[in-house]
Amino acid sequence: MANSFDVIVVGLGAMGSATLHQLSRRGVRVLGLEQFTPAHARGSSHGKSRIIREAYFEDPRYVPLVQHAYTLWADLEAESGVTVFHQTGGLMIGAPDSEVVSGARLSAELHGLSHEMLSADDLRQRFPLFHLRDIDVAVHEPRAGMLAPEKAITAFVDLALRHGAEVRSEEAMLSWRAVGDGVEVITSKGTYQAGRLILTVGAWAGKVFSELKLPFVVQRNVLYWFDPVTRAEQFTPERFPIFIQDLESGLAWYGFPDTGDGVKLALHHFGETTDPDALRRTVSAAEVAFMRDVIATHMPDANGTLRGSAACMYTNVPDDHFVIDVHPDHPAVIVASPCSGHGFKFSSALGEILADMATGTSVGFDTSLFSLARFATR
C-alpha cells in the first residue's frame, strides 16, 4: 500500500531526524512527518550552535550515552561530508559546591575523563574575558565543543532520503489511533498506516500525549548574539571555549565563541511558561537590557552591538531527565520527548536507541532513567 509503512516518525527535529536516518539505513520502510520543514526555527532544535560536553554535571549516568553520541556525530560527518562538530574545549564555572562544578567533576572522576580543575586565578590568566569571584573554580574539559543543529538535521534528513525514507513537510499530524497491532495516523493531508509510531514532537508533547497527564512544562528561552566591544580576537573558537557558569544571583548562563555571527549568550532555564503554538517570538527591549546587565557584570568585552536574538523552547519535566519509553497503553507507539533543555547533543545516540526500540533490536543502553513510570500520573 502506498500509504503503509513499517514505521512513522512524527516530528523531524533533533531526535526525529536522527531516528529517521537510523531506520532508513537499516532498510526499514519509514515515513517522516514534519508540521513545518526540517531544520525550522519554530521549535527546540535551532540556534546555529549547541553545546556538547562529556563531563555531564546533570548526572554521571549520561556520560556513556554522550560518549556514544560523539562517535555517531563523527559517523554522520563521514557519511554526509558535512562538518557538524567543532571542538573548542569547555568550562563549567562556579563555586566549588555549585551544581555545574561539583556535578561535572563527579562525572569526570567517575568515568576517568580528561579534565583539569582551574582556580579563579588560573581562569583569569588563561581566559581573561571572564570576570570572576575569588571563590570561583572551573572544570576544564578539552573534548567539549559545539554542534551545528541546522546542518545536523539537514544532513540526517538528506541521508535518510538517500536511503529510501519518505518525508512529508508542512504536514501536521491531526490524530493517531491504534489499529490492530499497528497504528493509523491522520494528518492535514492524508491517512497513513504503520506497524510502529515514534512521536518525537518536542514542545508539542504535552498536547499529543494529553491522555497521559504528564508534567510537561514548555518554557520560552531567548538566545542572543553580540559583537564584542573589545578584544574580538579573544572570542574566536581557537581561544574561547564553550562555557556554562553558575552565577551568584541563582541564575546560570552559557555561551559560545564567535564564528561569524557574534558571541552567542543565553540564560539557562530562564523564561516564561508558554504554549508552543503561541510562543512569543519577539524579544523585548527589557529582555535585551536584562541580558546586557548580566554581560556587563560577567563578560563586559562581549557587550557590543546586538547582532540577533531568537526564542526557542525547553520542554521540562520535574526531574529534568528525558522521556524515552513505550506508550503504556499502546505497545506500537514510542514516546520520545522532552529533553528539558539539554538533549540536542544526545540526539545522534537517541535516534539509534529509538530505531532499536522500533525494530525489536536490543538497546545498548539502560534507559530506565527515562521511563514514563517515574511520573505515576494516572
Exposed, middle or buried by CB within 10 Å (0-12, 13-18, 19+), for 128?
exposed
Mean pLDDT of the 239-254 span: 95
Position 260 pLDDT exceeds 90: yes
Kindly list the structural domains of the chain, giving each domain's residue range(s) and its CATH number in brackets, ordered by start.
4-46+150-213+319-374 (3.50.50.60), 50-147+217-316 (3.30.9.10)
pLDDT at 89: 98
The mean per-residue pLDDT over the stretch 146-164 comes to 98
Question: Quick one: cell of 125?
Answer: 590568566
Is 38 in contact with 10 (CB distance < 8 Å)?
A: no
Above 90 in pLDDT, residue 337? no
Confidence of residue 2 (pLDDT cuts 50, 70, 90): confident
Give the list of residues 6+ apart from residue 274 with CB closer than 8 angstroms, or none: 218, 219, 220, 280, 313
**Whether residue 249 has pLDDT greater than 90:** no
CB 313 within 8 A of CB 220: yes
pLDDT recorded at residue 245: 98
* Predicted confidence (pLDDT) at residue 242 exceeds the cutoff of 80: yes
CA distance 350 to 355: 8
Residue 276: which pLDDT band, with cuts at 50, 70 and 90?
Answer: very high
Output the average pLDDT for the chain: 96
Secondary element (H or E) of residue 116? strand 116-119
First CA to last CA across the chain, in angstroms? 37
Q: What is the pLDDT of residues 188-238, one digit of tens each?
A: 999 999 999 999 999 999 999 999 999 999 999 999 999 999 999 999 999
Q: Confidence band (pLDDT; 50, 70, 90) for 163? A: very high
Looking only at the bridges linking them, the beta strands covering 263-267 and 252-256 are antiparallel
Task: List the beta bridge partners of residue 226.
Answer: 263, 306
Q: What is the pLDDT of residue 332?
A: 98
pLDDT value at residue 378: 54
pTM of the model: 0.97
Residues, the chain: 378
Separation CA 293–CA 298 (nearest Å): 9
In angstroms, how far is CA 85 from the centroid of its own chain? Answer: 14
Mean pLDDT value of segment 273-300? 98
pLDDT at 376: 75
**pLDDT tens per residue, range 17-32:** 999 999 999 999 999 9
Nearest to 51 by CA among 87, 11, 104: 87
